[in-house]
Amino acid sequence: MADSTELEKSETPATDTQPVEDPSGDAAADIETNKEVDHHADEGDEGDAANAEVNDSTTVTGVGTVIDTATGKRTERIQLSLARPLGFYERTAYERFATGTEVIVVTALGNAISLAIQLADVLEEKQYCKKSKVMTSFEGGEHPRGPRHPTAGITIHLERNPTFKGSKIPQGMVGFHKPEGEAKFTPIYDDKPMQTFASVNAGDYELFVGGSALNAAFKTTLEAAEQNIDRYAPLHKSLVEKALKENPNATKGEDIRLVEAVNLSEHHPDLHASFCRICFDLKDKGPEGCKAVGAVFLDIFREDKRPKGAKKNIGMIYVVGPKGKDFGSKEEFLGAVSKTANNLMTALVDYNGLVKRTRRDNRDLDRLDVARIALFSGGVYKHEDATKMEVAEKIIEGITTGYRYRLAPRVTFAFDDNVFQEAWKQMTGAPDKPTTTTTTTTDEAAAKAPDAPQPDKQADEATAGKPEEAAAEPEAPEASQDDTTKEQQQDDTAAEKPTEESKDAPHTDTNGKDETAAASGKVDEAQEAETDETTGKEEAKEDDKEESSGKEEMNGVVGGAPTENGQE
């Protein structure tokens, strides 16, 4: 323990921390009851690492965000439980520090005290934070079921290091494509993706598919799939009108709901479904009559109209990015880029949440596993004073803000002068020397990562493989051969076992080999299941696998939060 740590006895139990009102006016979370205001949360979903159940003193009570009135610092509290492994709390703390939390207050009672001490030591050893205060308690009290024996408790204050860098997006959920040979572009779609896949199209204020640059490449690709391109503009415009109508009272900070097109057999028979999420903050930033700035459309193709005849190429993510000429300053423009990227990820999270909620209704919607992100608003439409690197940073910033664990798809960034990868390294402290290979894509490396959530509908599959490696222009990319690796599955018993020591996330060296996996031969996978007992029948609601392989070859850097090498 550091010399600066203050050790004292507290007359108040460690569980009596009170919520502090956020002076900014935002709804602060109630620490004791874990009432977090989160419009991304999916009903019935476990959410991210911080969204845990509230029971008694031996369970996770979650994380609440408050502003400490004494220090003015953003403070969050985590109460530990032996029902969760150390790695779970390490990841949670990492994510909170990465998203702006300055102080984490760790509390624990009874047997969980040793877990709190281990967590504080691990976080301090990795230089995420330093211990600023440690308080102990030993209190009894009344209990509804009779006398309660005095219980020991501990509270540890952890202050984030000023030099800390990171991202709340877990390792394995971010990848960067790098073309090889004479290719200069990332293909829009892979020939044979192994997971459901959609790609971002940098759209236009008029909401059509075509024109120039990436939008023109999409036109060529979708026409090759025998789609009627002319139907997109009127469909998208009708969705904007519907979104405005169904969100009449939307104001800054309030939730905006995803809306879905109806009567697609009439309006666009090539599509299976189509969704839109407008960006309220930007809807008036375009030319007169345009309400689509910052809007995101997710068009799900019919199976017989999917690019390259691949069943997994399920859709197009049409993003209406801001144009620099409509904003007076560079800062205002870059702020709009960040808001658009946030809306982009939020729309994808909302869609995956909808897929999960409507599964019982027998709706044939595919969960989106991988989204390829392009540098929208970074070409001819960027502000004259902004650089590509600044635009890339704001896209990453917005996507990180909108990211939600388990509902968000994996993100792979398209190559554009390598600005995404350089921006990621600067923002998160990722390794300076990324791994590149000639045989695998970043999507495959992400699919092997141990903390990568898997689609519910594929929870029973026992194989995973390599997406095609394309190295040509978007209109006619070339692909490499497929390969298949075996996976192992096991039941999740973490809640029934004592806490285990966490392990560092697997590290990929310059040869593309996973050092951790090379030492152990394999990495455990976890499979979680939820059972709905209200109907008297057991229905599987979710099987989120976490998978890895003994050897990893990655086309680009994969970086992010620490992971649990074990069960959650």
123-159 confidence digits (pLDDT tens): 999 999 999 999 999 876 555 566 667 789 999 999 9
Whether residue 242 is found in the same domain as residue 121: no
Closest CA to 165 of 510, 442, 424, 507: 424
511 in a structural domain: no
- The rounded percent of the chain whose pLDDT value lies above 90 is 46
Whether residue 83 is found in the same domain as residue 200: no
Domain interval for residue 58: 7-160
Whether residue 230 is found in the same domain as residue 102: no
381 in a structural domain: yes
63-78 confidence digits (pLDDT tens): 456 777 677 888 999 9
CATH of the domain at 55: 3.30.110.20
409 CB-side CA count, 13 A: 28
183-216 confidence digits (pLDDT tens): 788 999 999 999 999 999 999 999 999 999 999 9
Whether residue 259 is found in the same domain as residue 371: yes
308 in a structural domain: yes
Whether residue 348 is found in the same domain as residue 227: yes
Which residue, 398, 414, 430, sits at the end of a domain? 414
User: Concatenated DSSP letters for 277-304?
Assistant: E--GGGTTSSSTT---TT-EEEEEEPGG
How many domains does the chain contain in total? Answer: 2
Beta-strand pair 296-301/463-465? unpaired
103 in a structural domain: yes
Whether residue 203 is found in the same domain as residue 267: yes
Whether residue 199 is found in the same domain as residue 87: no
Whether residue 264 is found in the same domain as residue 399: yes
CA atoms 158, 160, 164, 166: torsion sign: positive
559 in a structural domain: no
Phi, psi of 542 (to 5 degrees): -160, 135
Mean pLDDT value across the chain: 72
Whether residue 156 is found in the same domain as residue 191: no
Residue 260's DSSP bridge partners are: 275
Whether residue 150 is found in the same domain as residue 193: no
* Helix, strand, coil content of the chain in percent (nearest 5): 25, 20, 55
CATH of the domain at 196: 3.40.220.10
Whether residue 287 is found in the same domain as residue 396: yes
Residue 44 has pLDDT above 70, yes or no: no
485 in a structural domain: no
420 in a structural domain: no
129 in a structural domain: yes
Residue 448 has pLDDT above 70, yes or no: no
501-519 confidence digits (pLDDT tens): 333 433 333 333 333 333 3
Region 100-107: mean pLDDT is 93
> Please, which residues have CB within 8 angstroms of residue 235's CB and are 6 or more apart in sequence?
261, 267, 268, 271, 274
Which residue, 363, 395, 414, sits at the end of a domain? 414
Beta strands across the sheet bearing 7-9: 7-9, 129-141, 148-160, 103-109, 74-79, 63-67
Neighbours of 438 (CB within 10 A): 11
Distance in angstroms (rounded) separating the CA atoms of residues 43 and 397:
26
pLDDT value, residue 145: 65
Distance in angstroms (rounded) separating the CA atoms of residues 85 and 536:
31
> Please, which residues have CB within 8 angstroms of residue 405's CB and are 6 or more apart in sequence?
47, 48, 49, 170, 453
Closest CA to 405 of 95, 28, 81, 194: 95
Whether residue 149 is found in the same domain as residue 236: no
